[in-house]
Structures are given as C-alpha cells and as structure tokens.
C-alpha cells in the first residue's frame, strides 16, 4: 500500500503547468530522491504531496482526505527555505514538531514529546546547543534545527526539500545516515546526485513538470541520462557495489 500518492496531478502557476499530469506513489519504507534541473517541479511535487498547494486537477493521498492535524501524524514536510525572526530557543523550535501529537497547543508536553525532542536534537548534533536562540545560528545550524523539528514529528513519511543545503561534508554524511537508518520512508528533492546514488533506493527524474525517469539509482544515474537532463558530463564510479556520481572537471 502506498504511503503517499499523486494521481494525474496538475499544478498551474499563471499560464504554466509546473506539474503536468503526474502519477507518483511511494511505499511507506521507501527512500526516494527526486532530481531534475531548476524549475522542473521538484518543490511543487513535494508541496502537492504535503497538501500545501492546491491541485488544478488530480488527487493527492492522504492529503486530500485527512484534516491537517491527522495528516501531520502521517507526513512531515521540510521546506527548502525558512526564516525565523523571533529568537526561539532551538529546543522550542523542535517542540513545534510535536503539535500533531498534542491534545492542546497550550498544554504541557508529555514524556513522549520530551523524548522525541531530545532524540531529534541528538540525531542532528544540536543537543548541547538546545538553549541557543535560533537567530544566533549559522546557516548549517539552522538547517539542522529544522531537520530536528521534522524528526521530532515522528511521522512515518518525510518530505524533504534539499535537506543537506548549507551543511558541511561531515554534517551532510551524518544527516543522510540518520535519514537512511530511521524507521519509515522519505522523499527527498535534491541536487546532490551522489546522495541520491548512495542513500536512496529509487530515483525519480523530473523535467518540465513531468516524470521522465523512475528506477533504481543504477538505472537512472547514468552519464547519458544526466547529460540529457542536466546538460553536464559526469563520471559514474562503482565502489563496493555502490555507484557514485562525479562531475567532470
């Protein structure tokens, strides 16, 4: 049974179809990368799955049938960019991820809430910084705090828009490892082709609002296909059964 699904989904911005009759479904434990050039519809696809944008036609499941509070128990969405002007502490920001499990937004958090927040902070390496205001964080630290909020939500399916943006190499590897090892699945829009190759089981290629490829990383991440989609030359290497994508100099 699919955890999230779009059927003949179309989203139009002005006169342009950003998604054009897309059929897309993901099983509950799948790890999926969405790749494609800028403007191909990756962010819109995630927002359609999350029920954030209204479809011009087609359906989104479960977004079309669940109220927001119930939907948040099934899906957690990480946007590409967030701006925080109020100096919440990191731990307060992460606690926002628990709203779907709270009886009252004004009530005290439960022991399960506290455990979810602690584990999420630990997973992204921010446990010791939990009381720091988010307005004092670097770009990479802000990204990790946002990821912690999503992890604290403990939804079975994560929808992640460029989750490794602004992270250094060590943080990038740590976060990707957390995503891969957690229970549940994720759909990740990314320009990081090597992350798609090494941390995902499936790669979906978007271009012009349509899916033009869908398969395993080994099937989708080939030099001819990437030249066709992105217009760049790459080398594909194979190490211990995993492929890696290396841009040609």
- Is the same domain home to 33 and 94? no
Q: Report the b/e string of 133-167 with b at 16+ CB within 10 A.
A: ebeebeeebbbbbbbbbbbbbbbbbbbbbbbbeeb
At 15-59, the pLDDT tens digits run 889 999 999 999 989 999 999 999 999 999 999 999 999 999 999
Is 225 a domain residue? Answer: no
- Total domains present in the chain: 2
15 lies in the same domain as 110: no
**Residue 238 placed within a domain:** no
Residues 146 and 171 in one domain: no
Other beta carbons within 10 Å of 124:
24
Residue 6 sits in the same domain as residue 70: yes
Q: What is the pLDDT of residue 103?
A: 52
Calculate mean pLDDT across residues 136-144: 94
In this structure, the answer to whether residues 24 and 145 fall within a common structural domain is no
CATH number of the domain bearing residue 3 = 3.40.50.300
Domain identity same for 172 and 116: no
Q: Provide the pLDDT confidence category of residue 240 given band limits of 50, 70 and 90.
A: confident
The stretch 213-227 carries a mean pLDDT of: 96
Spatial distance between the Cα atoms of 177 and 219, rounded to a whole number of angstroms: 22
Q: Do 176 and 53 reside in the same domain of the chain?
A: yes
Query: What is the pLDDT at residue 216?
Result: 97
Q: Within a 13 Å sphere around the CA of 146, how many CA atoms are in the beta-carbon half? A: 26
Query: Using 50, 70 and 90 to split pLDDT, how confident is the model at 2?
Result: low
Q: Which of 108, 133, 154 is the last residue of a domain?
A: 154
- Whether 223 is covered by a domain: the verdict is no
The answer to whether residue 246 sits within a structural domain is no
Q: Based on the fold, state whether residues 181 and 193 are members of the same structural domain.
A: yes
pLDDT bucket at 164, cuts 50 / 70 / 90: very high
Same domain assignment for residues 166 and 209: yes
pLDDT above 60: residue 152:
yes
Dmax (CA) for the chain in angstroms is 56
- State residue 82's pLDDT score: 83
Residue ranges making up the domain that contains 95: 87-154
End-to-end CA distance of the chain: 43
pLDDT of 197 strictly over 60: yes
Q: Is residue 209 part of a domain?
A: yes
Nearest residue to 120 via CA among 65, 84, 79, 76: 76
- Residues 77-82 have a mean pLDDT of 91
The answer to whether position 241 is within a domain reads no
Residue 243 covered by a domain: no
Cα distances (angstroms) measured from residue 91 to each of 127, 150, 183 = 9, 12, 23
In a domain, 242, yes or no: no
Q: How far is CA 27 from the centre of its chain?
A: 15
Please check whether residues 103 and 147 belong to one and the same domain: yes
**Domain match, 160 and 173 both:** yes
Residues 162 and 135 in one domain: no
pLDDT > 70: what percent of the chain?
96
């Amino acid at each position: 049974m699919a955890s999230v699904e779009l059927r003949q989904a179309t989203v139009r911005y002005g006169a342009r179809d950003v998604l054009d009759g897309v059929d897309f479904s993901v099983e509950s434990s799948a790890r999926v990368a969405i790749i494609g050039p800028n403007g191909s519809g990756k962010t819109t696809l995630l927002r359609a799955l999350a029920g954030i944008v209204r479809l011009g036609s087609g359906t989104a499941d479960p977004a079309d049938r669940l109220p927001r509070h119930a939907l948040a128990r099934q899906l957690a969405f990480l946007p590409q960019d967030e701006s925080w002007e109020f100096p919440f502490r990191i731990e307060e920001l992460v606690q926002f991820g628990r709203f779907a499990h709270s009886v009252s937004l004004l009530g005290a958090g439960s022991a399960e809430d506290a455990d979810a927040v602690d584990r999420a902070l630990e997973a992204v390496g921010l446990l010791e910084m939990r009381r720091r205001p988010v307005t004092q964080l670097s770009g990479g630290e802000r990204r990790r705090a946002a990821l912690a909020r999503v992890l604290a939500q403990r939804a079975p399916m994560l929808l992640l828009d460029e989750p490794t943006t602004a992270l250094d190499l060590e943080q990038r590897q740590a976060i990707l490892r957390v995503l891969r090892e957690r229970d549940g699945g994720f759909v990740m829009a990314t320009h990081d082709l090597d992350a798609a190759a090494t941390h995902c089981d499936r790669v979906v290629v978007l271009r012009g609002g349509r899916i033009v490829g869908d398969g395993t990383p080994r099937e989708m991440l080939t030099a001819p296909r990437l030249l066709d989609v992105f217009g760049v030359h790459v080398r594909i290497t194979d190490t211990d059964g995993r492929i890696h994508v290396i841009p040609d100099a």
